[in-house]
Amino acid sequence: MGKESVAYAPPHPAPLPPNGAERGIPPALETRGLDKSFGALAVTHAVDFRLERGARHALIGPNGAGKTTFVNLVTGALRPSAGAIFLDGADITPLSQDRRVKLGIARTYQINTLFRGLSVLENVCLAIGERLGLGGRLFRPVGLRRDVIEAAYALLERLRLAEDAGRLVRELPYGRQRLVEIAVALGLEPKVLLLDEPAAGVPSAESGIIVDVIETLPADLALLIIEHDMELVFRLARRITVLVQGAILVEGTPAEIAADARVREVYLGERTRH
Amino acid sequence: MSAAATPAAVPEAVRALARRHRFRAYETLPWIAAIGGYFLFPDYLALGAQVFIAILFALATDLILGYGGIITLGQAAFFGAGAYACGLVSAHGWGEPLSLLLIGAAAAALVGFLSGFVVLRATGLTQLMLTLIVAVMLQEAANKANDLTGGANGLQGMEIWPILGLFPFDLYGVAAYLYCLAVLFLGWLVLRTLVHSPFGRSLTGIRESEARMNAIGSPVFRRRLAAYVISAALAGVAGALAAETTQLVALDALSFDRSGGVVIMLIVGGIGRLYGGFIGVPLYMIAQDRFAEIDPVYWYFWIGLFLLLVVLFARGGMIGLGETLWRRLKFIPLRPWGRRG
Amino acid sequence: MTEAVSAAISIAFHGLAFAMVLYLVSVGLSVTMGLMGFVNLAHGVFAAAGGYVMTTLFNDYGVPFPAAAAIAAIVVGAASVAIERTLYRRFYGGDELDQVLLTIAIVFMSVAAAKYFWGSSQQPMHPPPYLSGQIEVLGRDFPTYRSFIIASGAVLVTLLWFGLDRTRLGAKIRASVDNRRMAQSVGIDTSGLFSFTFALGTGLAALGGALGAELWPIFPGYSLDHLIYFLIVVAVGGLGTIRGPFFAALLLGVADTAFKYLLPEFGSFFIYALTLAVLLWRPKGLFGQIGRT
């Protein structure tokens, strides 16, 4: 731990005090000493990270900093080489990916990973069905669960995808598919939501939809967003962690990060070279 | 028509999904054809029974291949396990056909369960190879266990009692035809129910994207294993049916020809559509028969050419081709081809 | 001691000769799988074609054996490019099932074609006099022909690995096998590379088929009968690796020889069981990269 504990004043009405730990409430998500290496290559190194309840937290860093690997470790898609992961204070490190999802961790993918041959509506239905534990049922047709279908449709309306509900995902433009990514994750009604570059590939006209959706997420949901679009990051995040070469460089409020010399050097410097 | 059920406000996409599992008129066609065949071709009933068995086998395969996305060249392991289990029990004094079907299903399910742990942990080419290995291993074992299975000579001494104690298997294949048709109908009903169930849809989800299925909290391995076992059991029923109707089990029940054949027939018909077997099996059997008659020595060449044409010009098999032509006729812009669930 | 030691040496020797043939035939399959992501069940067809070309040149036209084998490799490698460009290429990155059906179709057609041109019996293969008989090594007699297979196999494997490690072309191939998208983005002409690599793989397979014609006789059903062995080598070695299949071929060659020598009544049963055990332990093969999907 031992990170500089900077209290922040949330710009939005937040039900929780700045730092839950001070009141003995465990963070929604926490990693301690998280390490991951592929052979000799260490891609995640000693990451101590806390995601508070109700957080709007951004994880930024140059390409190859290990951001997506971090998401894969937290969701259980990858096994850490060392360290532990806690959800609501409980150690979930040994749990499989599907168990973690059931406990409330949901993610989106940096590169669309959807059921391309199924309709948009059914993509979301599958997620809702799994959340309700229906996935293993052998007999009653899915069509008779009108409640599931309608809940999925309502979610699509929220993401302004309703008109595409009946189309196959692969028929949609890439940017629209990005929204389906989010819809599928929201279908799981997570406690912790990890968005891996949700706006990458989304036309600027539609990135507003993403902002709107994020702003209307439940207040107690803990959000971690990985994003390269700095405008979006500074608009949404109340706290930012900078990851460089698999390790945390610095963490702080947007203002602190913007003012940090190391960040400018490592991260923003790298960006301006493009 | 209950007017209250569908108010105008229900979006089309919701309505389509809610209605997808309902029976359509065209689904009666295979059964009308089968009953028509009974009256039109009384001399070919024994052959007809074998066609039904092959269709049932193809249906079983479609569950894991078309819906589960598991490419297999080892389905004969399950067919053969069912056939040998049925044959062995009947040769040892129990010949009641219905219970023998269940015994065949159980034996095949066991093989599916045990081999599933190896097969389903691998992917792609490795998985394909493993399915193949399980089948050749069983074939090798059946070949070597001469005392039990009769080895290369086939299992002798089977005795099957009359169906339900009433209808003995006759020389003309009347009983076999109707019996196999009834079992096929039940198997189809089970599979049709499965593919529309949440379980079936989650299988389709795994086929479309395993990673995403994991990410929405689905126990992917367990689902696949369940599908594998169900498919094996159904293939075992087909094998047991074959044993009962021919009163013989030979090593070819476990052969690569059988594993490869069922996959080819299914692809020719169209996978992941439930009806691929109904079209592919008769078509392939007729093609094979014709080519073998025209060119008895080199008929493999023509079969190969036929498959080449299917893969080049009829993606999605005959059903896929039909859909494409239908859409063209209706001047609807073409969609990129793909398996549909 | 003598009998057991002599049996062990004999198994090791024949297993090694078998392994060389297995590796030469199979390595191309591993590369097409890794580089093009293509499930090529027709790979054995190229090995059989090599065997047919070699035996025809050698038996009917009196071409010296080494020259006949080399010509077979070149002819098959070159001809395979035509097939790669017209048929295989359309299915790269596509549905595996289409690839399976396409290559099964090719196997069927080639089996019938081989029967048409060469008949259904095995191709006679009698090594030339200078490769017949036995040679003495360390006071022990070894069949000359199989010693030749081991020696030429060792030379070829060394050349192949050296070429891949030390040449620019080899570096490009390795880079593309590791990460195709990355290779494309740094400007490697993957299309030309695919054709070349495919031809290299099929050429090696043809050479393996030709050199191994005495171990694995050439007949129409060659590609289908031995398919499972090629697949085992590639899967146990680790898909898309170049060295992995070599060690897998060694393991398979020696184990298969040993089982057939010690437990002939069980045929290939134990080889299959061993394969299952290895892949249960390591689903990605002995040398498959972990973490790569």
* CB of B212 less than 8 A from some CB of C: no
CA–CA gap between residue C84 and residue C195 (Å, rounded) = 7
pTM of the model: 0.90
Contact between residue C76 and residue C69 where contact means Cβ atoms under 8 Å apart: no
Cβ within 8 Å of A, B 85-144: none
DSSP of A195-261: EESTTTT--HHHHHHHHHHHHTS-TT-EEEEE-S-HHHHHHH-SEEEEEETTEEEEEE-HHHHHH-H
* CB of B9 less than 8 A from some CB of A: no
Q: What is the pLDDT of residues A34-53, one digit of tens each?
A: 999 887 788 899 999 999 99
Cα four-point dihedral sign B326, B327, B328, B332:
positive
CA–CA gap between residue A195 and residue A105 (Å, rounded) = 11
CA distance A34 to chain B (A): 21
CA neighbor of B50 nearest in space, from B181, B217, B225: B181
Please list, in sequence order, all residues whose beta carbon lies within 8 angstroms of the beta carbon of residue B319, skipping any fewer than 6 positions away. Answer: B269, B270, B273, B275, B276, B279
Cβ within 8 Å of C, A 54-83: 78
CA distance C4 to chain B (A): 27
Cβ within 8 Å of A, C 274-293: 290-291
What domains are there in chain A, each with its CATH number?
Answer: 1-6+26-104+190-274 (3.40.50.300), 113-189 (no CATH)
Neighbours of chain B (3+ CB pairs under 8 A): A, C
Q: What is the pLDDT of residues B296-330, one digit of tens each?
A: 888 889 999 999 999 999 888 999 999 888 888 87
Contact between residue C63 and residue B226 where contact means Cβ atoms under 8 Å apart: no
Ranges of residues in chain B with a pLDDT under 50 are 1-7, 334-341
CB–CB contact B209 A153 (8 Å): no
Total CB pairs under 8 A between chain A and B: 149
Cβ within 8 Å of C, B 157-186: none
CA–CA gap between residue C156 and residue C123 (Å, rounded) = 25
Long-range contacts of the stretch C71-78 (C-beta < 8 A, 24+): C72/C206, C72/C207, C72/C209, C72/C210, C73/C203, C73/C204, C73/C206, C73/C207, C73/C210, C74/C203, C75/C206, C76/C46, C76/C49, C76/C50, C76/C202, C76/C203, C76/C205, C76/C206, C77/C199, C77/C200, C77/C202, C77/C203, C77/C206, C78/C199
ipTM for the assembly: 0.89
Q: What is the mean pLDDT of residues A209-233?
A: 91
Nearest to A122 among B17, B216, B220 (CB): B17
Where are chain B's structural domains? 27-255
CA distance B64 to chain C (A): 13
How much is the pLDDT for C289?
Answer: 60
CA neighbor of B206 nearest in space, from C155, C132, A117, C9: A117
* CB of C264 less than 8 A from some CB of A: no
Contact between residue C251 and residue C236 where contact means Cβ atoms under 8 Å apart: yes
- Mutation to test the B interface, candidates A109, A142, A195, most B Cβ within 10 Å: A142
- Tell me the chain B residues in contact with residue C227 when contact means C-beta distances shorter than 8 Å: 132
CA neighbor of C250 nearest in space, from C64, C7, C27: C27
CA distance A77 to chain C (A): 10
**Residue in A closest to B196 by C-alpha:** A141
What distance, in Å, lies between the first and last C-alpha atoms of chain A?
Answer: 35
Please list, in sequence order, all residues whose beta carbon lies within 8 angstroms of the beta carbon of residue A98, skipping any fewer than 6 positions away. Answer: B214, B217, B218, B219, B220
CA–CA gap between residue B241 and residue B53 (Å, rounded) = 7
SS in 3 state form for B55-118?
A: HHHHHHHHHHHHHCCCCCCCCHHHHHHHHHHHHHHHHCCCCCHHHHHHHHHHHHHHHHHHHHHH
Nearest to C231 among B132, B306, B339 (CB): B132
Give pLDDT tens digits along chain C (293 positions): 588 888 899 999 999 999 999 999 999 898 888 778 889 999 999 999 999 999 999 999 999 999 999 999 999 999 999 999 999 989 887 888 899 999 999 999 999 999 999 999 999 998 898 998 888 888 788 899 999 999 999 999 999 998 888 888 888 887 777 676 777 777 777 788 889 999 999 999 999 999 999 999 999 999 999 999 999 999 999 887 888 999 999 999 999 999 989 888 887 888 999 999 999 898 888 887 643 33
CA distance C89 to chain B (A): 12
CA neighbor of C43 nearest in space, from C94, C95, C107, C117: C107
